[in-house]
C-alpha cells in the first residue's frame, strides 16, 4: 500500500494509536514532498536531515511508488 493513500491526519492517528511507528510520519512527509517534485537534496534540507541518502533510502526501500508520480 502506498502511504500517500492516507491523509496526514490518518497517519498521525495510526501513530498515536500504536498501529504505525513514529518513523512512518516522516516517511509520509518525505513521500509527499517527493510526489510534489522536490529533489532529494531539497527534502533533506527541509527536514534538516544530515544526508540526502535518508531520502533515497525511503524512496527506494520503503515506498518506491512515492517518487514516480512526476
Mean pLDDT for back-to-back runs of 10 residues, the chain (70 residues): 88 96 92 91 93 88 63
CA angle 28–26–11, rounded 5-degree value: 50
pTM, 2 dp: 0.82
- Which residue stretches of the chain are H helix? 8-17, 23-35, 40-46, 53-57
pLDDT (0 to 100) of residue 69: 44
pLDDT (0 to 100) of residue 70: 39
pLDDT (0 to 100) of residue 19: 94
How many domains would you assign to the chain?
1
Range of the domain at 41: 3-69
CA distance from start to end of the chain: 19
CA torsion sign for 43, 59, 36, 2 is negative
Amino acid at each position: 500500500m502506498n502511504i500517500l493513500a492516507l491523509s496526514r491526519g490518518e497517519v498521525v492517528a495510526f501513530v498515536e494509536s500504536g498501529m504505525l511507528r513514529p518513523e512512518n510520519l516522516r516517511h509520509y512527509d518525505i513521500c509527499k514532498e517527493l510526489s510534489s517534485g522536490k529533489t532529494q537534496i531539497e527534502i533533506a534540507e527541509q527536514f534538516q536531515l544530515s544526508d540526502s541518502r535518508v531520502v533515497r533510502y525511503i524512496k527506494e526501500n520503503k515506498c518506491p511508488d512515492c517518487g514516480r508520480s512526476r
